[in-house]
A and B are shown apart, each in its own frame.
Chain A
């Protein structure tokens, strides 16, 4: 168990809908990262938050947004969902901004039908 908790584990929704994925980082970790794992693109970095502020942005679509709350949990919001958004979404956390290690959660598997 990495200590990073993601909910829900599975999510099935229809095209055009909006969903929210939640991540609780390890106790004491200030940074949260979101990654997407899909069959065609592999694992891609989406976005990083550090202590509530956006720190780095990767290949995140404009239809997607994220935030980190004062209690350090983070949410990834996906809207106007398309079939191609079906993927495994991982959250990771680390103590600081650029540590040698980050710990991944179990992921949320999103299926868009």
Chain B
């Protein structure tokens, strides 16, 4: 079945870059997503990438997709304390639907 794996924790210093990694199993996924969840809050869509793309950049966020290795990463440049949150990688396995398989989430801690 579909499976998405992420490391559970990442700690970086303020101003450094953060890289959160994710591996997925379903090669038929058309879109892959990054969501952010702050304490007590809902899921905020950060960005997504279509499976035929290698890279997508959106301000401080860069998504890299290696389809051969089924590896997705999210790079946050100039990480700020406000970036402290849990980041979820997700793949869309539902054709014609928005059925996402989420990873367990990576908790990013930013040290001032």
Q: Residues of A at under 8 Å CB distance from B?
A: 2, 31, 33, 35, 42-45, 48, 55-56, 58, 90, 92, 94, 97-107
Give Cα distance in the complex from A43 to B87, angstroms.
Answer: 12
Please name all residues of chain B whose beta carbon is closer than 8 Å to the beta carbon of A48 when the two chains form the complex: 94, 97-99
Report the interface size for chain B: residues with CB under 8 A from the other chain: 24
Give Cα distance in the complex from A94 to B99, angstroms.
Answer: 12
From B14-22, B39-47, B66-74, give the one contacting chain A.
B39-47
Give Cα distance in the complex from A42 to B5, angstroms.
Answer: 12
A41 nearest in chain B by CB position: B104
Give Cα distance in the complex from A105 to B94, angstroms.
Answer: 21
Whether the pair A106, B31 counts as a contact (CB closer than 8 A) is: no
B92 nearest in chain A by CB position: A98
Whether the pair A45, B99 counts as a contact (CB closer than 8 A) is: yes
Whether the pair B42, A107 counts as a contact (CB closer than 8 A) is: yes
Most chain A CB neighbours (cut-off 10 Å) among B45, B48, B92: B45
Whether the pair B102, A42 counts as a contact (CB closer than 8 A) is: yes
B105 nearest in chain A by CB position: A42
Residue in contact with B98 in the complex, picked from A2, A44, A94, A107, CB distance below 8 Å: A94
A57 nearest in chain B by CB position: B99
Whether the pair A101, B48 counts as a contact (CB closer than 8 A) is: yes
A-B CB contact pairs (8 Å), 11 listed: A2-B44, A33-B98, A45-B100, A55-B97, A56-B94, A90-B42, A98-B94, A100-B50, A102-B98, A104-B44, A106-B41
